[in-house]
Amino acid sequence: MPPEIRVEGLSVWYDRHHALKQVSLEVAPGEVLALIGPSGCGKSTFLRTLNRLLEEGGRARISGRVFLGDADIYDAAADIPDLRRRVGMVFQAPNPFPFSIFDNVAYGPRLQGVTDRQALRRIVERSLQQAALWDEVRGKLRRSALTLSGGQQQRLCIARALAVEPEVLLMDEPTASLDPMSTTKIEELVAALRGRYTIVMVTHNLRQAARISDRTAFFAEGTLIEVGPTRQMFTAPLDPRTEQYLTGRYES
């Protein structure tokens, strides 16, 4: 059973800019939460606080608490590599390493010290099957990942994230750079992964959010405006700003 995520009073500043203001939110185990909102509203920033990737840039200041299960991931004693193993991430543009397909998927397990070839092969096959890529690349695992199409590369990145057996999957507009066919494949994949992983996904595509998420959170200007079951959000939003956004009349 994947863990729940509980965010309490989370704020983020970039230098002077207050990018995220006192966000509190819960994600239930195994559900798919969609984050929507206009550009620059803080939803990507929020996503990156959940695996502490925001700190890689070195400019952000963060306050508040984020619990993964029982543990506060911002605790001074928190183990960041272990956190990121438990919380996988898929980025907006496919970012496969310039290695072979096999080495891409095996990257995470190897970081954890798995060296046995048989074990690695099993992990790679299982992950590629989970990411619905196996049938397209079997027998070609030695080829460079860069020879794959954009959609295949994104599924490879999902397989790469799944290979370390995470509990949570963060997806930052995973279909933004893909064609409709590939987008459909990714959406089917997310549907198949629901329940096994707690999934938080940023999307600009409202229909996509409506199609695949259990609940939806609407962000605007760094504030969480509203969060609730997707069906209810899209039919009867509580906040007028949400309605304005959903009907295309919102102006930030």
> Between residues 51 and 230, which has the closer beta carbon with respect to another protein?
51
Site map 149..168 versus another protein, x via CB under 8 A: --------x--xx--x----
Q: Of 21, 85, 196, 211, which lies in the binding site for another protein, with binding defined by CB under 8 A? A: 85
107 binds another protein (CB under 8 A): yes
Considering only the stretches 12-20, 102-110, 206-214, 224-232, report the one whose residues sit in contact with another protein under the rule CB under 8 A. 102-110
What residues between 163 and 222 interact with another protein by CB under 8 A? 164
88 binds another protein (CB under 8 A): yes
140 binds another protein (CB under 8 A): no
Q: What string of H, E and C letters represents the secondary structure of the chain?
A: CCCCEEEEEEEEEECCEEEEEEEEEEECCCCEEEEECCCCCCHHHHHHHCCCHHHHHCCEEEEEEEEECCEECCCCCCCHHHHHHHEEEECCCCCCCCCEHHHHHHHHHHHCCCCCHHHHHHHHHHHHHHCCCHHHHCCCCCCEHHHCCHHHHHHHHHHHHHCCCCCEEEEECCCCCCCHHHHHHHHHHHHHHECCEEEEEECCCHHHHHHHCCEEEEEECCEEEEEEEHHHHHHCCCCHHHHHHHCCCCCC
- How many angstroms separate the CA atoms of 193 and 31, rounded? 10
- How many angstroms separate the CA atoms of 205 and 202, rounded? 9
95 binds another protein (CB under 8 A): yes
Q: Of 45, 49, 100, 242, which lies in the binding site for another protein, with binding defined by CB under 8 A? A: 100
Q: Which amino acid is at 166?
A: P
252 binds another protein (CB under 8 A): no
Q: Closest distance between another protein and the C-beta of residue 92, in Å?
A: 9
Among 215, 161, 217, 164, CA closest to 189: 161
> Between residues 107 and 250, which has the closer beta carbon with respect to another protein?
107
> Between residues 81 and 248, which has the closer beta carbon with respect to another protein?
81
Q: Closest distance between another protein and the C-beta of residue 247, in Å?
A: 34
Site map 3..42 versus another protein, x via CB under 8 A: ----------------------------------------
- Which residue ranges make up the site for another protein (CB under 8 A)? 51, 53, 56, 58, 81-85, 88-89, 91, 93, 95-100, 107-108, 110-112, 142, 144, 146, 157, 160-161, 164
